[in-house]
Structure 1
Amino acid sequence: MNLLICARCGARTDVPLVEPDEPVIRCAACGHRRRFHRLPLYCVTGPSGTGKSTVARLLGERLSDRFVVLEQDVLWLAGLRDPADDHRAFRSAWLRVISMIHQNGRPAVLCGTVVPPELEPLPERALFAEIRYLSLVCDPDVLAERLRARPAWREWDEPRIAETLEYTAWIRSCADRMDPPMTLLDTTHVPVEATAEAVCAWVTGG
């Protein structure tokens, strides 16, 4: 299941060699070729407070017969955090985990804050047919109030809220110019059930 370990010679790599015209991974050590499920990954992203975690719970109920829904924060662990390297270990770990999940034949929906420049340059990106990005967004005043209403243990002070509002403005201004572009979904005045239905339609192409 681990695509980074050769099934023939046992060699391990951090840079998978995927043949461009078919879903085949090749071992750099012995040349062994192995077919694999090269599926798309769907990222439901956006700033904190836009509704990702709430929507993720509903997506699991609606999509579990066809997709595996995952919440990114469960791997937000000290050993995977490295701000100096843009948390590369954290992002690579997720792509490796999802590539193994995909070998069961069902694509994954990853819910968590991520943008194309954080995943597209990684070597593990080659294990996916494509990565699609849908970013939830929210009007600044509403978003700020949502963050202020969170429990104290989440430590949402005013400087952190201001930083999130700046990040939201950046997402709105740059989404269509990223590679690949990000689709935006405004959750400001939309009930969570309706947001979940819209996300499901985006994932399934409906």
Structure 2
Amino acid sequence: MKILAVNRIGNKLYVDDNGVKYAECRTCKEVGRGYLKPIADFVEAKQNILGVLYDCNECRKGEKKRWRKENPEKTRAYNRSQERIKKNREHRKKWEEKNKEKVKKMKITRLNRETAASDTIPIKEKTKTLKQYSYSCALTGTENNLQADHIIPLVTGHASNFFENILILKRDLNVSKNGRNIFDWAVQEHEHLGFTLTRFNEVMTEVALRSGMTLEEYKEYVNWCFDNQIDISG
């Protein structure tokens, strides 16, 4: 197997000849039992270099059971707080169902406030793009923490602030893409960020049609914009 990454405590991420990934479990390693396990046996953690938490699900389950046994009062308090959270979510969901227009306006307001490009993209262009994707992230379908992204970054000198060049993305996707070529970014990051290339191609086909292009023509145009950037700093 090939080593793909090593975290700060020395645990490794591997891939076998069939493309299956495995990670080392910290606790299993410490107690001397079989510690190399498929990444499906771990909780995903995108912020970690291995892409998963240090301990496998079995070890985490055992640790939780031990902690609950040793901390009955804290466990009861936690359970009560989870019940409150569940009730609040149910209440909010019912409210949103009864107030769909208010929810749409709230999302537009939040987008205008939070998007990194809020001072350059006109509100009507953001609103038009939000409607295009049913008030959700174009690639993941997530309805919260949305931002407006310049598909072709302004820094290339070939971009606009209008509908043809705007995509609604979840905040972490927008931060990850930043000034990168969207086609290169999607190939490199789609698994890590939770969207499929099939969905990406569907969205980009729609984006290409906005400018009267096919997907391949639009991809060539985007590549040209990056290869022929104009200095706009002055």
TM-score range for the pair, normalised by the shorter chain length: under 0.3
Higher CA-based Rg: 2
Name the TM-score, length of structure 1 as normaliser: 0.25
Name the TM-score, length of structure 2 as normaliser: 0.23
Higher helix share: 2
